[in-house]
Structure 1
Amino acid sequence: MTGGGGRGDGKHTVLLVDDHPVVREGLRGMIEAEDDLTVVGEAASGTEARTMAAALRPDVILMDLRMPDGDGVTTTERILAELPQTRIVVVTTYESDADILRAVEAGAAGYLLKDASRAELAAAVREAAAGKTVLAPSVAGRLMGLMREPAPAALTAREIEVLTQVAQGQTNADIGRALHISEATVKTHLLRTFSKLEVSDRTAAVTTAMALGLLR
């Protein structure tokens, strides 16, 4: 089921955002080779990305970090403020500590490098569309190093269970049914988890837990 593209063929819709035409062409070729994915638009700047996202409402946006007229992090923040159901995966050549943290804090659902294979890219789009968090292995390693100090308080087994469900794209109501607890209890577990991991939202909690090796 597509989240906002309005297509009736069941394909996940993707918007490409990168200021280099050759990069967009390469990404389009890899995505269009998959039967269940389709590119619905291309944008070359932050402003263009916001306009096209509002008009096309894609399931997933593949977002470059360095662009004219609004960088990828700022653009991610602004699009998610207007379209919170859209999933944004950063695809970039940069993997500096600052870039990774800024993207995660902006609400990106994932972070991939441009040397990703077609299979890795397609899998990332599918997982992001399903509500999951996607991290390139090297990026997960970087996050782990960044977050080693100070060490967060240990999560309980139940908190890990709840966060695992969040990582799979489940809503609070879904999690409550799966674990046979109330939705209010799910929220309590998540709030405690956010506090322990020193984050403020679900995506950051999952990303941080993955980097710390708390989730598989």
Structure 2
Amino acid sequence: MTATVLVVDDHPVVRDGVTLLLRTDPALTIAGAAESGHAAIERVAELRPDLVLLDLRLPDMLAPEVVAGLRAAHPGVRVVVFTAHGDHQGVVAALEAGAHGGLLKDVAGTDLVAALRRVLRGERVIDPRIMPDAGQRSDALARSGLTRREYEVLRLAAQGRTNPEIANVTGLTRNTVKTYLQSALHKLGARNRVEAIGKASEAGLL
């Protein structure tokens, strides 16, 4: 079964290059391309691709906003951010907003195709040069029993975000954010968010 991919980048050379790379795999079909965040959200709603390969730096919107917009427009879409910069914080923010992977643009063509296939299978793929401790963090996360969403909400809380701000970044409702936080507190054996953040830090989660 072929999967459809939307390529979002403001540089035509990158869009064309990625399109050529992905064409080497018969299981991947290019659904289209977009050059800005707003255009990407419109095209995702219209084309409903399986995956979006999203440039981290677009001229009109920040990557986390684009990720949230894409997932609101087409909740089933998988989003992989693509950056030339190894911009750690930018990638982390995009992942916290719901992206499923982060890759560097110097990735070889075969590696790019393999990474996208893994994301389409439901894995989260992050280039180790972007987040070298991602593997250790995944192990700590598995031990904690926190779901990916509970962890995401807790990480944003640890950055000092309020519940309404977390709801805005993740595209969740405020009530859902509150539910995830309460569940995270319960699993960590914490009485409040400050204690939960402390325990999560000790466990190597933050």
The 2-side partners of 1:125 and 1:97 are apart by 20
Instruction: Tell me the alpha carbon deviations over residues 110-143 of structure 1, each in whole angstroms, 9 at most, x when there is no partner.
Output: 0000001111111121111122111112123055
The 1-side partners of 2:56 and 2:69 are apart by 14
Aligned to 2:61: 70
Aligned to 1:102: 93
Aligned to 2:143: 155
The 2-side partners of 1:194 and 1:22 are apart by 49
Aligned to 1:81: 72
The answer to whether structure 1 residue 138 and structure 2 residue 126 are counterparts is no
Flag structure 1 segments of 5+ consecutive residues without an equivalent. 1-9, 164-187, 197-211
CA contact (8 A) 1:97 1:142 kept: no
CA contact (8 A) 1:73 1:103 kept: yes
Taking structure 1 as the reference length, the TM-score comes to 0.63
The 1-side partners of 2:43 and 2:20 are apart by 20
Aligned match for 2:32, one of 20, 23, 41:
41
Identity, in percent, stands at: 35
The 2-side partners of 1:44 and 1:35 are apart by 25
The answer to whether structure 1 residue 128 and structure 2 residue 119 are counterparts is yes
Aligned to 2:9: 18
Flag structure 2 segments of 5+ consecutive residues without an equivalent. 149-179, 189-203
The 2-side partners of 1:46 and 1:88 are apart by 13
CA contact (8 A) 1:155 1:193 kept: no
The 2-side partners of 1:29 and 1:104 are apart by 26
The 1-side partners of 2:187 and 2:111 are apart by 32
The answer to whether structure 1 residue 116 and structure 2 residue 104 are counterparts is no
The 1-side partners of 2:184 and 2:76 are apart by 24
Instruction: Tell me the alpha carbon deviations over residues 82-116 of structure 1, each in whole angstroms, 9 at most, x when there is no partner.
Output: 22210000011122332122111111000000001
Q: Output the aligned Cα RMSD.
A: 3.1
